[in-house]
Chain A
Amino acid sequence: MTAFTGTWRLVRLALRRDRIILPVWIVSIAGLAWAVMASYEVTVVTEADRISTAMFSAGNPMARVFDGPASGTDLGAMALVEGWKVLAILGALMSAQAVVRHTRQDEETGRAELLGSAVVGRHARLTAALVVTFGANLVLAGVVALAIAAPSDFGWSGALAEGMAAAGIGWVFAGVAAVGAQVFSTARGANAMAAGSLGVAFLLRAVGDLTGEVTEDGLAVTSSWPSWLSPYGWGQQVRPYYQDNWWIAALFVGLTVLLVAVAFTFTNRRDVGSGMVPVRSGPAHAPRGLLSSFGLAWRLQRGILVVWLVGLAIFGAVFGSLGESVEDYILDSEGMRELLEAIAPGADVVEIYYTFVMAIIGIAAGGYAVQALLRMRAEEMSGRVEPLLATATGRHRWLAGHVLIAAVGTALVLLGAGLAGGLSYGAASGHWADGIADLTAAAAVQIPAALALAGFVVAVFGLLPRWAGPITWFALAAALVMGQLGTLFELPRWMLDISPYSHVPLVPAEDFAAAPVVWLSVTALSLGALGFAAFRHRDLAIGA
């Protein structure tokens, strides 16, 4: 028996378990890619349209930060500059979750032990998880290329290059998750590490693209070195329909091989079930603070909260410090100023920039709310809530502890990001008071929208517990797509209105409006109350 014995059987098991989830991911990602391409074909028609759009993307610092380096006037190239974030973020998350699902999650639930006792080599589980995920990414590459090229007349060259880039970032994050699954003893920890790495990769290339140079014709951007440190940036440097840089595939493969090698080295050094970090012993008696339903909820929730607080504060600080550069770039370009003036008359450029930044941070804070609240579902499914509710702890009290922490946490995460952004903008520009006031206000108006999403999660947890995970993550993804691509897709107003984030006042670019904030708060409270009532009346989910 070798370390790899049984891999093939485990591959078949993983395919069987993932027979629904992976196709859904792949089809959704390719569908979004197709939608981006189709909307460009409709909206950007004439030669003049294309040149002005390309010049705008190349010169506009916001487009550089959020979309990436402009790559000429080819319609396919322009569409894929904007479409890459969907492919990259969703592809990376699909891959990371797939690897974690078949490695660390199996160890956490004890399934791995059962498998390990059968004729299965030490490396078989990780190898099988990677084989399945790498394969899924190859399929994704093909389906994405098909979705881009088949219904349009963009041609196959760029479509295939973009497919390669999508698979490339998927492979890299499969590798990141493989390492995370060895280091952390929980699936949550491993997934969080992958998501955090994705955030860092996004930031690096945002800096690199912003500080890059516009080419002489004014239609493209040459990114500076930080973009080349990021696998997210590599995908953009493939430049489909502009340069089709196939050699970048070597970067993806190289980094993937490195990460996988690290992961296998780690598997050799640890036991099944444990992580790399040894478990310390704890106190023989509980401290006073733990001895309540709320105290336990805080103990379970504080780690998630700290990670998000720090992560979004860094995100806010980086984007805050870029505000000053945004101003410089606009001042340099007469054409850009006129263009922006046409989009938002009278508005300050920096204020528009911060409105965009906070829209993204608002959705990220929604991600925190979803993750924190789904912790309740994890507690229920694992059976850990059963002995708790068999004590004199009522269901509402148990629920209230988690909901309170998630709600206050959402507000803190947003205010922290706003404050960090304001401070770093103040440090860069010297406009301390304006920066802190504007950014904190822009963050604060996101709170009711994020809480409305949180209320939705509580309602689903009460009413449809079985589907709580998929429904709420889908809702978050839908809010992200609507917010980032809704206008591009020309989605009807009523559909955009479903997302709570569509109603957030565009502070600081526009004036604050009280009505939407009040309505969002009422929605949040009503949905939450619905969830509380439903949870009181349902069975606990317990393995019968």
Chain B
Amino acid sequence: MRTTVEQVIRTRGLTKSFGSTRALDGVDLTVGRGEVHGFLGPNGSGKSTTIRVLLGLLRKDGGEATLLGGDPWHDAVALHRRLAYVPGDVNLWPNLSGGEAIDLLGELRGSQDTARREELVERFQLDPTKRCSAYSKGNRQKVAIVAGLAADVELFLLDEPTSGLDPLMETVFQDVVREITTAGGTVLLSSHILAEAEALCDTVSIIRAGRIVESGSLATLRHLTRTTLHVTTREPLDGLDTTPGIHDVVVTDAGHTASFEVEADRLGAVIEHIGQHGVVALTSAPPTLEELFLRHYGDELAALNRNGAGTDVAGRRSRHARGEAGR
């Protein structure tokens, strides 16, 4: 049981509309202290709007929102001393140098760690003397990341922070985030790059059309998905098609080799079944976050495929998604 103090972010039924567009349609988001919480969803699903409501930049229409135990709208200034924010789309003052922008943002927050700042500038290979107008998108992003991650604060709100970084810098970014959590910081990391979330996050929330559709630890969520098995047996496999919990069976080599997907709660029974046929080789692939994601967006993909030229893979996934929805 967590006490409320340990919940760094807590929203219940959060709503926000822009004109007739409902951007947030009842967001329930909980982030506990010390977590790296992945906030996943495609563009336009409400990630940035949620974060901006949490920052008090936008005013919620309805629902509750608590940040570090305070009200994000009324206590904005006091709360902002305790958090750092890295926006996804970074716009900086064209006539300031990158170093000036970093120092300015750090000073205004009131908690810049100077040594850490120098270290991060070095690690991200940023030239702080360049004017912001001369930076590429990736370098503007680095300015915001250094300014945010050099802060000595409890909470980091990172809104698609790596969208302009090259893979090398992304690795550096992941290292730095791990250092932050080791030091006890809490991170809300919004992203649509699933590999990044898988590499960093303990817990995730998936947002879709302004609503959280799935939330929990990666381990729990993976439980909801299927494991892919590839198996070779001495005796020909039989009865796979009729075994409950098995999907998408492909049998080759006169029944000696098969690959298929197994629902998590059927895994034990299936292993027992194939064990009776004398297993020669067995590989299993754990479910990825991508599959988790597709469960919720699969029908949109299917709609896209109906309209355009469908591919086999996507077709299989949309069947997959419908199958899940039927459970």
Contact = CB atoms under 8 A, between A and B. Distances in A.
A542 B57 CA distance: 9
Contact of B55 (A280, A290, A300, A390): A390
Interface in B72-105: 76-78, 80-81, 83, 85, 87, 89-97, 99-105
B80 A386 contact: no
A391 B109 contact: yes
Contacts of B265: none
A249 to B, nearest CB: 40
A293 B77 CA distance: 13
Given A279-B131, A540-B57, A391 B99 contact: no
A542 B81 contact: no
A296 interface: yes
Given A282-B129, A286-B99, A542-B52, A393 B108 contact: yes
A279 B134 contact: yes
A391 B59 CA distance: 17
Interface string B27-54: 0000000000000000000001100100
A393 B77 CA distance: 6
A290 B108 CA distance: 10
Given A286-B103, A290-B100, A540-B57, A390 B80 contact: yes
B104 A290 contact: yes
B80 to A, nearest CB: 5
Contacts of B18: 544
B128 interface: yes
Contact count band on B:
35 or more
B134 A286 contact: no
Contacts of B21: 544
A347 to B, nearest CB: 48
A464 to B, nearest CB: 15
Contacts of A542: 52, 57-58
Main SS of the interface on chain B?
A: mixed
A281 interface: yes
Interface in A511-544: 537-540, 542-544
A284 B99 contact: yes
A95 interface: no
A394 B87 contact: no
A19 interface: no
B146 interface: no
Nearest to B78: A392
A303 B163 CA distance: 33
Interface string A388-400: 1111111000000
B130 interface: yes
Interface of B: 18, 21, 23, 48-49, 52, 55-59, 76-78, 80-81, 83, 85, 87, 89-97, 99-105, 107-110, 128-131, 133-134, 144, 147, 157
